[in-house]
């Protein structure tokens, strides 16, 4: 595939469109021909969350003729801090429907296709087929590797972005012209090593910064202007307001984009990464290792000798707590393991159950057996036992 796409009579601009895009038309780098290229272009945005929100909104406003949106979630109250394509009145709605309605309000002259389903190995190539550029607005490793492999196998550019707390990354992975995502990250990190935004948090404006840059790179690719981030990784630190650019090289031994690839079709990406292909913090422990909030409350009320260990970060105690628990953050648990007695019954908890599941696995690996993880974390405790405290 070659970008940009040539325009034709079907992409001729109407008089209202000429007025709408007049600020583009005044720029020689865009002009009438460039705006017709945008109208002829199609972009698939994977995810309508923090990154997908600014990406889709700016591409719609810029006049990209066809947008595809992939998501299978609903608008949640916790999304509104950063996912600006959605609003309070849209709570509980399908994200793709909420996003489509917002985009059509921004620019009713474009086409918006929605795919209210997970992006998986079974449907990925079919969904991606009609689109020129794929924008990765995901938040988990299985889908990132899936998006990369789809782009390599179909020859499409992958406009990549990722965020965590105050830091972001951005690149354009296009195997025909430079490295792919696997060239930079041949293997995923060990499961649990990198916390999700749901567990670690994200500065609300950060996805706006990275997502807008992703939209910028996408428009540059379509227009064939400027210097795209092919073979470069842009690192952003919001606290220091610093941008750093790292040069990337194609890996001659890459398993998918080298001259002798090992991967020629899509694989099981959840198995490859060892984690689910979605951002869900709940644990994946067998039921015998878990205890629910009501059972724990009943046992504590009966005076059962249970040692409650909170593995969250200290600042989270200001939001909610369970009386009688002691704080040992997950990151320092190994250093404090000698303070725990394997003869005691220990119940571990965090916000939603993910970090405490990792803590349980760590202790179990060290020989502890009388362990339980609070299913759903302290948020479950608040919902079922102590509603005087907030869910977060």
The helices-and-strands tally (H runs, E runs) of the chain is 14, 13
* Distance in angstroms (rounded) separating the CA atoms of residues 218 and 308: 49
Residues forming a β-bridge with 234? 170, 245
Conformation bin of residue 195: beta by default, left when phi > 0, alpha when psi is -120 to 50: beta
* Distance in angstroms (rounded) separating the CA atoms of residues 110 and 286: 48
Give SS3 for 306: strand
In this structure, are residues 212 and 161 in contact, taking their beta carbons and an 8 Å threshold?
Answer: no
Give the number of other CB atoms < 10 A from CB of residue 237. 12
* Helical axes 377-384 vs 293-301, angle rounded to 10°: 70
Alpha-helix runs per DSSP H in 92-237: 95-106, 124-128, 141-154, 181-184, 197-200, 206-223
197 assigned to active site: yes
How many Cα neighbours within 13 Å face the side chain of 3? 28
**Containing H/E element for 236?**
strand 232-237
- 145 phi and psi, to 5 degrees? -65, -35
273 assigned to active site: no
Give SS3 for 176: coil
- Check 151, 257, 273, 350 and give the catalytic one: 350
- Check 151, 180, 197, 257 and give the catalytic one: 197
By annotation, the residues acting in catalysis are: 197, 350
């Amino acid at each position: 595939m070659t970008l940009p796409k040539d325009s034709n009579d079907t992409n001729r601009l109407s008089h209202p469109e000429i007025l709408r895009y007049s600020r583009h038309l005044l720029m020689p780098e865009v002009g009438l021909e460039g705006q017709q290229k945008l109208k002829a272009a199609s972009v698939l945005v994977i995810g309508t969350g923090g990154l997908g929100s600014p990406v889709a909104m700016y591409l719609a406003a810029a006049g990209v003729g066809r947008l595809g949106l992939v998501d299978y979630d609903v608008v949640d109250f916790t999304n509104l801090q950063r996912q600006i394509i959605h609003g309070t009145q849209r709570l509980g709605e399908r994200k793709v429907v909420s996003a489509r309605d917002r985009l059509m309000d921004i620019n009713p002259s474009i086409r918006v296709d929605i795919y209210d389903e997970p992006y998986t190995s079974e449907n990925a190539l079919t969904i991606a087929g009609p689109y020129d550029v794929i924008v990765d607005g995901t938040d988990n490793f299985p889908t990132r590797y899936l998006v990369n492999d789809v782009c390599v196998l179909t020859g499409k550019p992958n406009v990549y972005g990722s965020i965590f707390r105050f830091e972001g990354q951005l690149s354009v992975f296009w195997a025909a012209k430079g490295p792919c995502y696997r060239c930079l990250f041949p293997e995923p990190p060990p499961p649990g090593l990198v916390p999700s935004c749901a567990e670690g948090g994200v500065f609300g404006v950060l996805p706006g910064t990275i997502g807008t840059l992703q939209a910028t790179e996408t428009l540059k690719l379509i227009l064939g202007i400027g210097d795209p981030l092919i073979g470069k990784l842009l690192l952003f630190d919001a606290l220091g307001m610093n941008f750093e650019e790292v040069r990337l090289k194609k890996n001659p031994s890459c398993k998918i984009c080298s001259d002798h690839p090992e991967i020629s079709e899509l694989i099981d990406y959840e198995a490859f990464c060892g984690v689910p292909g979605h951002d869900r913090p709940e644990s994946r422990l067998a039921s015998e290792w878990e205890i629910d909030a009501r059972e724990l409350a009943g046992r504590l009320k009966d005076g059962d000798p249970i040692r409650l260990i909170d593995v969250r970060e200290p600042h989270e105690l200001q939001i909610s707590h369970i009386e009688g628990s002691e704080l040992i953050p997950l990151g320092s648990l190994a250093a404090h393991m000698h303070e725990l007695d394997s003869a005691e019954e220990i119940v571990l908890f965090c916000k939603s159950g993910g970090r405490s599941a990792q803590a349980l696995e760590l202790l179990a690996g060290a020989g502890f057996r009388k362990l339980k993880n609070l299913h759903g974390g302290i948020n479950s405790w608040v919902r079922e036992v102590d509603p005087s405290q907030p869910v977060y």
